[in-house]
Structure 1
Amino acid sequence: MVSKMMIKLHSGIRFRLAVIFLACFTMMATLGAYLLQRNLHSNFLEIEQDSAIEDVTRVIYGLNNELRYVKIIISDWGNWNELYQYSLDKRPDFYTENLGEQQLKTASLSVVQITGRQNEIISYEQQGLSPKETSAFFSAQKNRAELATLMQQPEKRVCGFLKTVAGLVSTCWRAILHSDGSGPASGILMMGRLIEAQHLQLMRDGSQLPFSIVAPSPNTQIHWQLKNVPDDFIGHEVSVQFSDKTLTLHYPLYDTNQNHIYDIQLIIHRKILSEGQGIIQNISIQLVSIAMLCCAILIIYLHYTLVQPLKTLQKTLAHVRAEHSWSTIIKQGSDDEIGQLGQEINGLLQVINNQVVHLENLSLTDSLCDLANRRSFDLQLRQELNRCKRLKHPLALLILDIDFFKQYNDHYGHPAGDLALKTVSNTLKSVFLRLTDLPARIGGEEFAVLMPNTDEVGALQITRTLQASIERRAIPHEASKVSNILTVSIGLVIYKPQQSQTAEELIEQADQLLYQAKKAGRNQICMHIKNADI
């Protein structure tokens, strides 16, 4: 009797399901623990890497602050009338009063060197450095061609680090100018500041990072890319050496001739990875335990809380993809993970929809002038022609061209040319205020305006207003042959519903009128009203 009951129990569906699900969930839990270990381990490695890179970057910016101090001092001294005059007449009293060892101590500088226009050394003073460090040493750090560049480009600064017997020195070179920044340059000013042990200790205390400046180490095979490195730092990679408990990072420091002179060494204990391993182990144990606990009830619960909602979500997304209906909002039936997934998908669909709309706007907008571009203008012109025929309203079209704009660019430069284009576009927007009007940039210096429901009188009046508004801007144009300020030539055409012109023909007619305005001497408005086709 007992044996029959056991056979019946063993052959029952619930027993077999229990055995099957127990085996499946045991395997799933084991596999889940393995995947968790593999994926989370790599994530913690990435977090460790990001944290280490952030620490190295903080140290680099600490050194950059030392360089920034020299930049500030050299910017003040480089624009100084008395120093400018001294570099020309070499008065001993100026040197005694302003460039002696005591003055360097007051300014917290280690070396100041002044060279003349022929690269001759006018004066050299140092304090706190080894006697071996001479003006010849510091002069050798910058070649004559680069110094000549500083003379030709007074606004330029060349800054970096040098290796001296005393240690690392932050240095800058710049041209010597008048106090108001005017030239020509009278020479080159070089300043340097020794980064002493107390400065490094202050940086360690402030950053709470145990870094040190060491001799260059051999390159390792593993390098991490750095982001947001200050401009004066050449290196953009940090080499890494791994051990079980620590990371040793080396960031190369280069001198002004791009020689590898020192390394920033930072040793970091691998606390993040160690804590991550503990978290992975705890989660793995919990995962197996929960899997065993949920095995008995999951067969029913899974269908109603996971499979069915996912099927619904799948059908909805398939519809969205097929119809390109990116504005669809997925309805949420619960606040669990599936509901949150639906919310995230809604957010993603909203991002996609916004990007699609944004791309469509970009394809129709001129990025420089923030006006409709040629593609948008052509589309709107065809629509307005159809509307004009349907409603029996006139349509005005003007095309304007900035007079002698190539000469303007050649004379003032392309940045000034871009600014002039923006000024003209802003003037267009300030004159044509109706929502139905469409100002557009259709070429380099060529603009057009569509004016629906505007007859010849109104079109001519507002076109004159536009021309006057541009003249009131009084944009200087010394290269113009018609005026000393920026002017425009305009072709204006009126389209009436009875006409059979196409959009291309209307533009061609406006271009011809623009050509006539230019031929008539520029700074003109040329208007033609074509008779209706009867």
Structure 2
Amino acid sequence: MAGISLGLLHYSLNQSYDGIERRDLSAHMGRVVQSLESGLGHLNSQTRDWAVWTEMYSYVQAPSAAWAEENIGAHSMEPADLSLVMVYDAQGELVSMTTRNRGGGTLDLSGLQSGSYAQWLKNAEPETACGLMDTDAGLMLTCRANITRSDTSGAYVGTVVMGRQLDAQLTRKLQVQTRLSFQLHDRQDLPAGLARWSGLLTPGALGSGDFWTAHDETLYHLYYPLQDVLKKNVGLITLDVSRDVHEEAEKLFSQVRKQMVLTALVTAILLTVAVHLLLVRRLRRFTRQLVTLTEQSTWHTRISVRGNDELALLSRKVNSLLAVIESQVQTLEALTVTDPLTGLTNRRAFDARLAFEYARKNRDERPLAMLMLDVDHFKRYNDHYGHPGGDAALQALAQVLRLSVCRASDLIARLGGEEFAVLAPETDAAGAKALAERIRANLRERCIVHADSPVAAHMTVSIGIVIAGDETPEAFVNRADQALYKAKHGGRDRAYCDEPEALPDAGS
């Protein structure tokens, strides 16, 4: 009986801990890949901001060396941490190309104009694209976007390309963010004899989602192949992770086994009864909890094993590991629902919260209000102050919104560009109007200068207010958009509620 119990214990622990270890390792590699893709997403936003620029639209049709030096030259690239800026016209001819290294010098990237990436760089379809390139200067995050006016009008006139070198400094920054000592290797193939793990990571712009592993007694060695924009393997992410969970499980199992064998030698008859009452039943419960937990990935759940013996110690160690995993999962989830520029909730999280609040509104018959905000003449602001100034203005507006929206139950979100929304549960039309006026008053007090605004000398916002009715969430959002449109159509710097009487404008 003791031998059978030990065998079952060892098998169950190995299976359970192998599953936990596998998910833990996948989470580690996922954090590394996510950090790179997050950097690529930020670069994509920068590229699109530069592409949607009336002055850039004019420049590509009538190139000016002086304009290029002032606006897209090396001194403009440094604050944005850019290594490459290329501009192509509608015929695919290179208009300008600027490179920069960390030391302020240039990079030799002339091979991009005629190499395997040349056609990808000047393609007009799709309108935006991002990925990795293997250049003469090493691996580089790259994005391209079609150039349009600031209001997105106009025919196709060319493409802007921006790149950020994956050098040692950027790698160290990502290591600090992920708290993992991974390494990036360009032009390196996978070692032989590795095991392939598929389906654990989501495929993305940098790889297929599959990674390879090998391990010894103390370390797991992880390898993730990096793919370029042409879907060719151009490098590797390598990560070594200690096998603390495996070692702890083996150590604790060894202790349990020694004590059980010693007890069996002293009291064989008593052990027959004691094993079932004091060990096997608890082990089965432990195994059931652990298997259920690993299958359902409910990391907030804790293993419940009473006592002060090795099994209880093992459960506490497992619970400690689960706490670490839960914290890491929460961190990753926060990254997926937060706007990187303002720190507010992003569109994805806003849509999920809207669906939840709408269901609660229908169930409890409580009012639900939405304020849709848009910065007046923000394109002019960007053209006048530049995109870094525009980013700073959006961050300041986010601070104004946080100051104005006081209830913990309310949700502030950046929906995209200069458009924001406030979701206010249990708020009627009067409360929503008061909130809108508080936002406008605080924004006036903040006095963000907007010298090119035809509305006022400072930044203003137009606000559309709606109260939820018997409609779908999508129709609710559409009504908010219409209310925002009416606020803008009515002269901007005002709030409009989809009731007969709108709020007064700034001069009243």
TM-score of the aligned structures, taking structure 2 as reference length: 0.49
**Bigger Rg, which one:** 1
TM-score of the aligned structures, taking structure 1 as reference length: 0.47
